[in-house]
Amino acid sequence: MALLEIRNLHATVDGKPILKGIDLSIGKGEVHAIMGPNGAGKSTLSYVIAGREGYEVTDGRILFDGEDLLELEPDERACAGLFLAFQYPVEIPGVTNTTFLKTALNAQRKGRGEGELDAMQFLKFVREKAKPLGIGDDMLKRAVNVGFSGGEKKRNEVLQMAVLEPKLAVLDETDSGLDIDALKIVADGVNAMRRPDNATLVITHYQRLLDHIVPDRVHVLADGRIIKSGGKELALDLEAKGYAQFGGAAAA
């Protein structure tokens, strides 16, 4: 059984149809990539999966590990093992990264009926996860995303993912705005998470991330529909020919 099973998904924002019939199946242990021009509905898809208010599903269904995802609140989806790395990470003034991570991890553990980690156990755990991402204690002590550079924000999303150890991570343009070194750090972080029983959905605009996170399947999303799917060579093809061949807007 697939980990994520999306069938004929239609969704509207402010009454405007954005997703117009999406079918997507991601199996355990797989990495899928969604590529597509600006405004295609990539972020909308990620928000619908995560259950954001205002993103209304008008038809279709989403199954997550066999469970009807659309029945769950956003926090319940998170506890069930769904993680979204935001295209635009949000600032939370006054809340340190450590506090945020600890609160989130313990909320999820509680949601799953596991015991909470105490401060010492947690600190050890988070430092282990932060080190390979080049995140030191100073960054852990700063308020969540406040005053972070673009690259720091993206690395911070990957840290959250590493700490929360989701079953399915959806990365929404985690590569945009990164230089090549930062890109490699992020990709290594994602690769380090790969397990036979979890999966990753990488949303990206550019092929270059896929040199580092090699996908099993690539899908092209344009105007709210998946118009083509293929292996990793599809990404190279897109890079060479652009999105124009699919009748969508040119890549920005």
Partner 1 sequence: MVATPETIEQLRSVTDEKYKYGFVTDIEADVAPKGLNEDIVRFISAKKSEPDWLLEWRLKAYRAWLDMDSPDWAKLKIDPIDYQDAYYYSAPKIKDGPKSLDEVDPKLLETYDKLGIPLKEQEWLAGVAVDAVFDSVSVATTYKERLEQEGIIFCSISEAIQNHPELVRKYLGSVVPYTDNFFATLNSAVFTDGSFVYIPKGVRSPMELSTYFRINAQNTGQFERTLIIADEGSYVSYLEGCTAPQRDENQLHAAVVELVALDDSEIKYSTVKNWYPGDENGVGGIYNFVTKRAACRGRNSKVSWTQVETGSAITWKYPSCILQGDNSVGEFYSVAITNNCQQADTGTKMIHLGRNTRSTIISKGISAGRADNTYRGLVRIQPKAESARNYTQCDSLLIGDRCGAHTVPYIESRNPSATVEHEATTARISEDQLFYCCQRGLSEEEAVSLIVNGFCREVMQHLPMEFAVEAQKLVGISLEGSVG
Shorter beta-carbon distance to ligand ADP: residue 98 or 174 = 174
The burial of 63, by beta-carbon neighbours within 10 Å (0-12 exposed, 13-18 middle, 19 or more buried), is given as middle
Does residue 38 touch ligand ADP according to CB under 6 A?
yes
Shortest approach of ligand ADP to residue 14 CB, angstroms?
5
- State the binding partner of 18 from Mg ion, partner 1, ligand ADP, none, CB within 5 to 8 A by kind: ligand ADP
Does residue 198 touch ligand ADP according to CB under 6 A?
no
CA triple 72-28-117, angle to 5 deg: 60
Shortest approach of ligand ADP to residue 124 CB, angstroms?
37
Q: Of 26, 31, 34, 43, which lies in the binding site for Mg ion, with binding defined by CB under 5 A?
A: 43
Inter-CA distances, 220 with 13, 46, 79, 126, 181, Å:
21, 15, 29, 36, 27
The burial of 90, by beta-carbon neighbours within 10 Å (0-12 exposed, 13-18 middle, 19 or more buried), is given as exposed
Shorter beta-carbon distance to ligand ADP: residue 19 or 183 = 19
Shorter beta-carbon distance to Mg ion: residue 18 or 79 = 18
Shorter beta-carbon distance to ligand ADP: residue 30 or 173 = 173
Judge whether 57 and 9 are in contact, CB under 8 Å.
yes
Tokens of 208: 């270059």
Tokens of 245: 């061949």
Q: Of 17, 27, 29, 39, which lies in the binding site for ligand ADP, with binding defined by CB under 6 A?
A: 39
All residues at 6 or more sequence positions from 139 whose CB lies less than 8 Å from its CB, including other chains: 97, 130, 152, 156
Residue type, 148: F
Residues of this chain that bind partner 1 (CB under 8 A): 50, 52-53, 73-75, 77-79, 83-84, 86, 89-95, 99-100, 103-105, 107-108, 111, 143, 160, 164
Shorter beta-carbon distance to ligand ADP: residue 127 or 225 = 225
Distance CA 112, CA 129 (A): 21
Q: Which residues contribute to the site for ligand ADP (CB under 6 A)? A: 13-14, 16, 18, 36, 38-44
Q: Which residues contribute to the site for Mg ion (CB under 5 A)? A: 42-43, 87
